[in-house]
């Protein structure tokens, strides 16, 4: 494994698309000028306030790649749980604490490489996190002080571990479910501008969220919907 630190980059995910392939290469930037979130959103990337990291792996077979977001979500969660055990997951791959998002994951399975981007709010103040599309917090706000370099190492090691599970087919979605309190609860779904509620029943083997709505079973695809629960 190789961990490279950059002063500034547009996006660590984009950086890993441009360079020749090297398996298990991780890049961390002090700041990003064009940090990307899921579903076309931007990711707040002020200097030294967050972990902005991406890892490079061999591409996964499309059948296995649908679970990548879930598995990498567990990998990041487990790194953060070493500080405090009240972090949890929100499907498909956000890390939450106290009803607020602290970390997000952006996996991109391309034809010649798999890139996984991880953003963790480390020392943002609540004021700096205001105005985002979701309620957000940082490790510092939650009373955790940590060194970004050490966190980068821990997260990278866990990403390797969970990538291996994905490749071997041993990642079990039940592990994700066990950290996902929205399972079994009423959730609100936003899909193409429409909003509806239903009960989250679980996650299937392909990573879809199973939802019961008006007595019907729906399978929700992570790229198409956004889900909230209270
Ligand atoms: C999300 O929307 O929850 C995913 C956020 C992913 C952000 C990280 S920061 C490092 C990497 N580079 C990017 O441009 N995005 C990811």
Span from the CA of 213 to the centroid of ligand 1 (angstroms): 31
| Ligand 1 atom with minimal separation from the 105 CA | 4
In short, whether 109's Cβ falls inside 6 Å of ligand 1 is: no
Mean pLDDT of 59-67: 92
In short, whether 94's Cβ falls inside 6 Å of ligand 1 is: yes
Among protein residues, the one with the nearest Cα to ligand 1's atom 10 is 52
- Give the pLDDT confidence score for residue 142 in this predicted structure: 97
Span from the CA of 118 to the centroid of ligand 1 (angstroms): 5
pLDDT band at residue 63 using 50, 70 and 90 as cut-offs: confident
- Give the pLDDT confidence score for residue 135 in this predicted structure: 95
Among protein residues, the one with the nearest Cα to ligand 1's atom 15 is 36
Span from the CA of 104 to the centroid of ligand 1 (angstroms): 6
| Ligand 1 atom with minimal separation from the 53 CA | 10
ipTM, 2 dp: 0.99
What would the pLDDT profile of 67-122 be if each residue is shown by its tens digit? 999 999 999 999 999 999 999 999 999 999 999 999 999 999 999 999 999 999 99
Span from the CA of 217 to the centroid of ligand 1 (angstroms): 31
CATH annotation of 2-178: 3.30.930.10
What would the pLDDT profile of 124-159 be if each residue is shown by its tens digit? 999 999 999 899 999 999 999 999 999 999 999 999
CATH annotation of 186-228: 2.30.30.100
- Give the pLDDT confidence score for residue 39 in this predicted structure: 87
Three-class SS of the chain = CEEEEEEEECCHHHHHHHCCCCCCEEEEEEEECCCECCCCCECCCCCCCEEEEEEEECCCCHHHHCCHHHHHHHHHHHHHCCCCCCCEEECCCEEEECCEEEEEEEEEECCCCEEEEEEEECCCCCCCCCCCCCCECCCCCCCCCCCHHHHHHHHHHHHHHHHHHHHHCCCCHHHHHHCCCCCCCEEEEEECCEEEEEEEEEECCCCCEEEEECCEEEEECCCCEEEECC
Domain boundaries, the chain: 2-178, 186-228
- Higher-pLDDT residue of 149 and 64 is 149
Rounded to the nearest integer, the mean pLDDT of the chain is 96
Domain 2-178 identical in fold to domain 186-228: no
Span from the CA of 98 to the centroid of ligand 1 (angstroms): 21
């Amino acid at each position: 494994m190789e961990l490279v630190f950059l002063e500034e980059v547009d996006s660590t995910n984009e950086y890993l698309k441009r360079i020749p392939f090297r398996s298990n290469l991780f890049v961390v930037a002090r700041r990003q000028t064009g940090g990307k979130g899921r579903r076309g959103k931007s990711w707040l990337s002020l200097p030294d306030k967050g972990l902005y990291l991406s890892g490079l792996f061999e591409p996964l077979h499309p059948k296995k790649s649908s679970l990548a977001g879930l598995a990498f979500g567990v990998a990041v969660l487990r790194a953060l749980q070493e500080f405090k055990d009240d972090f949890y997951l929100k499907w498909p791959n956000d890390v939450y604490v106290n009803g607020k998002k602290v970390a997000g994951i952006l996996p991109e399975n391309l034809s010649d490489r798999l890139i996984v981007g991880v953003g963790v709010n480390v020392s943002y103040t609540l004021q700096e996190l205001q105005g985002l599309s979701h309620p957000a917090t940082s490790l510092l706000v939650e009373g955790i002080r940590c060194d970004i370099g050490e966190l980068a190492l821990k997260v990278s090691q866990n990403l390797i571990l969970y990538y291996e599970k994905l490749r071997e087919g041993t990642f079990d979605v039940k592990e994700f479910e066990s950290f996902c309190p929205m399972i079994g609860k009423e959730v609100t779904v936003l899909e193409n501008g429409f909003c509806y509620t239903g009960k989250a029943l679980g996650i299937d083997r392909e990573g879809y969220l199973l939802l019961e709505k008006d007595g019907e079973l729906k399978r929700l695809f992570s790229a198409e919907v956004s889900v909230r629960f209270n």
